[in-house]
Every structure is written in structure tokens, then in C-alpha cells.
Amino acid sequence: MRRKLLFVFLILVLCLVSCSVEKTYMVTGAYKANPFLTPKEVIEVSGDEVSFLLISDEHIGRTTAGATHNLANLYSFMDAQAFPFSVSLGDLTDDGRMTDAVKDFLANLKNRTTKKVFLQCVGNHDRHTYGSSYASHLEDQNISLSRYVCGNLSMYVLDNSTRTFTERQFQWLEEALKADTCKYKIFFAHENLCAGANLSNTQVMIGFADVSEMNKFFSLMDKYKVGLLFTGHSHSGDQVFEGPNGNYAEYNICSFVKTTSFLEPGDMWYKVTVNRSNGKVTVYGYDGTSVTVKTTKTFFLPS
């Protein structure tokens, strides 16, 4: 009898785990209307080129030194570059708490930019055990789902921190993309969708999207000419997954947090430069200790 009950319990658990999580985005009163239709910010930058800081998986609050060991280098780099805005792909916190260290980090990544703008994705760690006050803060401020415009460049902050974009987010996204008149478009999200060549999510590095949802998402990118999706989460990162027609790609970047595992080298941040006249995107990956360029990748956004 006990074995039968245990078997039934395991089946129920598997069913619950396999179910798609339809997050309402209304738990805290936010996102009662499409958050992508009206830009959260219009960032005015002169000239054809605009550059910004891109960082992911900072894990502020982790007890190991790897979460804070190169903050001084990062802040000095930001001051020297004078970025108009910065972007975090999520897991900024290690356990979701809005601690003083997290508040200080948020202030630095916003206030060290010339336009005082900080785009922030929600990560799975940002929803962890201590009430997820950081994630709630982003939702309350209508930040975790948002769109920013910089000239003819439209940038979408998406939320797949619960392992799904949800049907509602897809509906909002397609509605906004139909109305978006910007020449170039970029997506930001936390969890990597792909894990191998030809948009596979079944190879060595696990992709976290359901295959059907992943295909739906990339079809949306292809249809509305969204050339680039930046993701984090995997920590090892720094991998590019190109669409079959070359019109779009996912770039899964390396984490800022440094661990002792050779599988998670971390210790990186990125400078992204977008040429808004020809759609060329150049991504420079910086080593956080030496503050030297470690990787360089180039993309061309369709228009």
C-alpha cells in the first residue's frame, strides 16, 4: 500500500513539474495592460553608434568572494566608458532579498550611466526563498517587462524566470512588435533557450525552453525581424546560436560571478556597440580581473 501511495505521489509531482506555469503578472498589481506598447524610457543618444554595459548573473549576496571581487574594476570601467545606459540579464541577487548590498549595486549600475537608465531582467534566483523582494520591486516599478527606445533601436526586457514566457507575454509581445516602427530590435531575457548548433536545446549545455515554446519564440523573432536575443543563466555562456536563415541569433553570455568550477569560469562583463545606421552589433567580452577584451563577436540586425 505504501509503495502504491508513493508511486501516486511521484506521478503527481511529475505532473506538476511538467505543467506550464502561466504567471499572471498581476500578483502585485503591475502589468494590467501591455507593458511593451509604450516605451518605459526614450534614451536620447547622438551619433550613429550607441554602446552600453551588458552583465548577467551577478549573484549579489552569495557568501563567496566571487560575487563582489571585481566590483571596483567594473565601476571604474563604467566611469571610463560613460555608457548612456546599462543592462542586467538577471540573477542580480543570489536569493531575492533587497539587501543594502543589492541596493548599492543597483544604484551604481544606474547612476554611473550618463542617462541614469538601467534595464533589468528578472532571473530565477531573484525569485528565491526570502520573499523575492527584488523581483517584486521590478514588477511594482513595471521594469521586468518593458521596452526602451534609443533612436531607431527598440529593446525589449522579457521575463522567462519561471522557465516560460507564458502565453500572455507572447500575446503582448506580438501586439507590440506589430506596432513597433523602430528599424532595429533586440531582446533581453534571463534563461538561455538554446544549447547547441541549429537552435537545439538538447546538447551539452541544457536549454531551458520547452521545445515548442522555443520554436514559437524564434518564429516571432524571424517574423518581426528581431535580430538578437541576449541571455544569461548558464554561467559558462559566451555561446552563439544562429537561426537557420541567419536572420536572428541567441547570444548566451558568461556570468559576472566567479566560482571555483571550471564549468563556470564567470568573471566577465560586456560592452555592446550598436551602429544604428547599418545594424552592426559588436560585443566585446571583458575579463573582470584584467579588464581586457577576452572575446569579440559581431552580428548584423535585419531591418
- In the chain (303 residues long), the average pLDDT of successive 10-residue segments reads 48 39 48 92 97 95 74 96 98 91 94 98 85 81 94 97 90 97 98 65 51 88 96 87 87 86 78 98 95 96 94
Residue 239 in domain = yes
Strand 153-157, strand 146-150: pairing: antiparallel
For residue 11, the model assigns a pLDDT of 42
Residue 59 in domain = yes
In the beta sheet, which residues pair with residue 19?
none
For residue 131, the model assigns a pLDDT of 56
Residue 14 in domain = no
Rounded Cα distance between 214 and 207, Å, is 9
For residue 194, the model assigns a pLDDT of 80
Q: Give CA angle at 153 (216, 200), nearest 5°.
A: 30
Residue 31 in domain = no
For residue 249, the model assigns a pLDDT of 93
Residue 294 in domain = yes
For residue 74, the model assigns a pLDDT of 96
Residue 165 in domain = yes
CA-CA-CA-CA torsion sign (264, 78, 47, 121): positive
Residue-range definition of the domain harbouring residue 165: 48-300
Single-letter amino acid code for the residue at 124: N
Residue 188 in domain = yes
For residue 7, the model assigns a pLDDT of 45
For residue 163, the model assigns a pLDDT of 86
For residue 209, the model assigns a pLDDT of 61
User: Structural domain tally of the chain?
Assistant: 1
Q: Name the pTM for this structure.
A: 0.87
For residue 246, the model assigns a pLDDT of 83
CATH of the domain at 181: 3.60.21.10
The answer for residues whose C-beta is within 8 angstroms of residue 31's C-beta and 6 or more apart is 25, 139, 142, 145
Residue 204 in domain = yes
